[in-house]
Amino acid sequence: MFSTTLRRMAASSKETLLKRAPLTIANNPYKARKVWPPNFKQLTHQQQLRFEKKYKRRIVLASRSPTWEKAVKTAQLLTIVAAMVWILFYSEFEWWGQKYKPSEEVRPWNQQETVS
């Protein structure tokens, strides 16, 4: 019953990740299947085009970030809305020597509706 427990306690522990040497080309257990980068002079024209298409597509997919795109679209929308609100409520224009405030146009129209 206790034989397994005693055997495990007496056995030496496995090497921890910190004690192990860092992976290099010589001691890497995960060998590459292909030589990288390939020698393009040895490849046919068709193989070269296939490599270019494959890695261009991978670069485009890797550079896409849906979160970033959504954040940019949201920032653009907020900027446009803020500009429109500022133009309608806080700006003052001067056309042909007369000061004009768009918010003053909105207020009397709203007041006439409530009075009527």
What tens-digit pLDDT sequence spans the chain (116 residues)? 678 877 877 777 666 655 677 888 888 888 888 887 888 899 999 999 999 999 899 888 888 888 999 999 999 999 999 999 888 777 777 777 777 776 676 665 556 665 55
Which of 77, 78, 105 has its CA nearest to residue 89? 105
- What angle is formed at CA 97 by the lines to CA 95 and CA 103, rounded to 5 degrees? 50
CA distance 2 to 4: 6
- The pLDDT assigned to 11 comes to 76
- The pLDDT assigned to 8 comes to 78
- The pLDDT assigned to 29 comes to 87
CA distance 95 to 116: 31
- The pLDDT assigned to 107 comes to 61
